């Protein structure tokens, strides 16, 4: 009787190993699917209020409609476009390029010859950025952007 039981166990061992391996592979792919984030689409025109400190003028706040970021193209997690604002009645634009974090919740961008911003994606139509530049005069800002188109 012992030999018969041994033969049965020996015969079922490869099947048990195969099932265990299959379950392990399914678990790994399930975890990978959970970790993989959807990449948000940021293409569009964005504006919103901000609070700023500038070395020459001090602290001030601005409502929506003064500073714009237009993201014109996005490929995977990289995007490009331009920023636009008015300085003493003159329209000023800067090229921008940025990246979205792997988890799809953070963003970093640079404005050509003008500084850097990092922040978070709050929702499909809302961003919060913190801006820094060491150009003269130094400046920092907290921007809240809403997609308007």
* Mean residue pLDDT across the chain: 86
**Residue 68 sits in which domain range?**
44-147
Shared-domain flag, residues 56 and 17: no
- Of residues 112 and 16, which shows the higher confidence score? 112
Find the helix or strand (DSSP H, E) in which 9 lies.
helix 2-35
**What's the rounded Cα separation, in Å, for the pair 101 and 34?**
16
**Do 18 and 68 sit in the same domain of this protein?**
no
Q: What is the CATH number of the domain that holds 117?
A: 2.40.128.20
Question: For 83-105, what is each residue's pLDDT tens digit?
Answer: 999 888 899 999 999 999 999 99
Q: Are residues 69 and 117 in the same domain?
A: yes
Number of domains in the chain: 2
More confident residue, 131 or 10: 131
> Do residue 65 and residue 86 come from a single domain?
yes
18 pLDDT band, cuts 50/70/90, is low
What pLDDT band is residue 143 in, cutting at 50, 70 and 90?
Answer: very high
Please tell me whether residues 90 and 131 are part of one structural domain. yes
pLDDT at residue number 88: 84
Whether residue 77 sits in one domain with residue 114: yes
Q: How many CB atoms lie within 10 A of CB 75?
A: 8
Q: Are residues 109 and 52 in the same domain?
A: yes
- Residue 2, Cα to own-chain centre: how many angstroms? 63
Looking at the fold, whether 102 and 73 belong to one and the same domain comes out as yes
- Output the pLDDT for position 10: 57
Regarding whether 75 and 133 lie in a shared domain, the answer is yes
25 with 77, same domain?
Answer: no
Q: Quote the pLDDT of residue 17.
A: 60
User: Based on the domain organization, do 30 and 48 belong to the same domain?
Assistant: no
Confidence bin at 13 (pLDDT 50/70/90): low
Please list the residues that pair with 117 across neighbouring strands: 109, 131
């Amino acid at each position: 009787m012992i030999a018969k039981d041994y033969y049965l166990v020996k015969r079922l061992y490869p099947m048990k190993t195969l099932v265990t391996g299959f379950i392990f592979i399914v678990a790994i792919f399930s975890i990978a699917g959970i970790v993989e984030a959807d990449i948000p689409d940021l293409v569009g025109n964005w504006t919103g209020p901000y609070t700023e400190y500038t070395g020459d003028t001090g602290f001030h706040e601005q409502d929506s409609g003064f500073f714009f970021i237009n993201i014109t193209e996005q490929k995977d997690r990289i995007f490009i476009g331009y920023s636009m604002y008015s300085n003493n009645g003159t329209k000023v634009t800067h090229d921008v390029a940025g990246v979205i974090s792997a988890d799809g919740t953070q963003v970093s961008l640079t404005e050509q010859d003008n500084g850097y911003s990092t922040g978070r994606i709050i929702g499909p139509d809302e961003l919060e950025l913190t801006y820094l530049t060491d150009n003269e005069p130094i400046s920092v800002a907290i921007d809240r952007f809403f997609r308007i188109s």
